[in-house]
Amino acid sequence: MRESTTYQAILKEGEAEGLRKGVLAGERNVLIRMASKRLGTPSNDALKMIELASEYQILTWAEWVWEVETWPELLVSR
């Protein structure tokens, strides 16, 4: 069974998904650390928004960190 192409494809897909989730978690952590230095500790609501955000949104927020003064201002959709 381990030699089957279907099994191998499923295994590779699972590995790719795990890697993607790991990268996204890392991006979230970097955003939180970077923004916290400028904006202070995020609220629980801010952390929830970041947890639910797409990779695109996280990267966009990371670009805006230096243009805002508060977490709510950062996390507002633009």
Answering whether pTM is above 0.85, one says no
- Cβ-Cβ contacts under 8 Å for 59 (sequence gap 6 or more): 27
From the list 49, 54, 56, the residue with the least C-alpha distance to 71 is: 49
For the packed helices 55-64 and 5-39, what is the interaxial angle rounded to 10 degrees? 20
Query: What was the pLDDT predicted at 11?
Result: 46
Q: Does residue 21 surpass a pLDDT of 70?
A: no
**How far apart, in whole angstroms, are the C-alpha atoms of residue 39 and residue 69?**
6
Give percent above pLDDT 90 in the chain.
63
* Confidence category of residue 24, pLDDT binned at 50, 70, 90: confident
**What's the average model confidence in pLDDT over 63-70?**
94
Q: pLDDT tens digits, residue range 8-19?
A: 555 456 554 544
